[in-house]
Amino acid sequence: MTTPRRPLVAGNWKMNLRREEARHYCELLRKAPAPGAEVVLFPSFPLLSVVSEALTGSEVRWGGQDLHPEATGAHTGEVSALQLLDWQCTTVLCGHSERRRDQGESDELVAAKVATAQDHGLTPVLCVGETQDERDRGLTEATLQRQLEIALPADATAWVLAYEPVWAIGTGRSATPALAQEAHSFLRRTINDMAGAASASALRILYGGSVQSDNCEALLREPDIDGFLIGGASLDARHFLDIIQHCGSPA
């Protein structure tokens, strides 16, 4: 028997939007009809106060785009789990491919961030995905397995996994539903082997990489795709709401 998994639609604003734009965006989200899917926003750190103020009391949740493995300390430019909690974050992205690429984040560092998130009661959204080169060389599964094995959280019941093939991020070249399903199914089987059947069937695995309102429904029909992590198409509130509506009406 499979566990019903509520779709999760997450907007990753990356280094976009300014204070007033974020406020306006949150107002539109607040006024929208109750979504069937769970909705989460990942604003950049300076916008967390705006988002938290505008969305407290709504069904939308929010989180950090990153965190430091330590709770406090001399780490200029970094943000801690405690600071995310101050702004009512419930979740945090760990190991987004742009950080792996731009900041050289290793699997071990990502694992430490996942552990810190869980230690503080934040739900880590662990991002994994192969580059075009890894796919071309037949290394997709080996890459995903390595990223997963190193960063698998201690509590395998309180996390979210995001499959984001690097070649599909921001390129307009989304994975086909069949290709995404193949990777998601591999990931779920791997979790099954590492953490057991109950954890594997309860885990939500999001797809990310050029998701739009015109491809989300077909992707979500695949049995192992449980929602999305959306960059570009989440920057416009109306477009994001459109995708949310495509992901289900209230139960």
Question: Which parts of this chain interact with ligand PGA (CB under 6 A)?
Answer: 12, 164, 169-170, 208-211, 229-233
Q: How far from each other are the two terminal CA atoms of the chain, in whole angstroms?
A: 20
Distance CA 56, CA 174 (A): 33
Instruction: Name the DSSP class of 234.
Output: G
C-beta of 159 vs 199, nearer to ligand PGA: 159
Residue 3: CB minimum distance to ligand PGA, A:
25
Residue 76: CB minimum distance to ligand PGA, A:
25
C-beta of 47 vs 195, nearer to ligand PGA: 47
C-beta of 90 vs 171, nearer to ligand PGA: 171
Kindly give the residue spans of alpha helices, DSSP state H, lying in the chain: 19-31, 48-55, 81-86, 97-102, 107-119, 132-136, 140-151, 177-195, 197-202, 216-220, 237-246
- Give the nearest residue (CB) to ligand PGA: 231
Task: Please list the residues that pair with 60 across neighbouring strands.
Answer: none
Residue 169: CB minimum distance to ligand PGA, A:
4
C-beta of 95 vs 153, nearer to ligand PGA: 95
Q: For the stretch 212-246, what's the b/e string if a residue is b when 16 or more beta carbons lie within 10 angstroms of its beta carbon?
A: bbebbeebbebebbbbbbbbbbbbebebbbebbbb
Instruction: Name the DSSP class of 3.
Output: P
Task: At 92, give phi and psi (nearest 5°).
Answer: -155, 140
Instruction: Show which residues are catalytic.
Output: 96, 164
Residue 203: CB minimum distance to ligand PGA, A:
18
C-beta of 209 vs 227, nearer to ligand PGA: 209
CB 191 within 8 A of CB 213: no
Token duo for residue 229? 């992590």
Residue 126: CB minimum distance to ligand PGA, A:
13
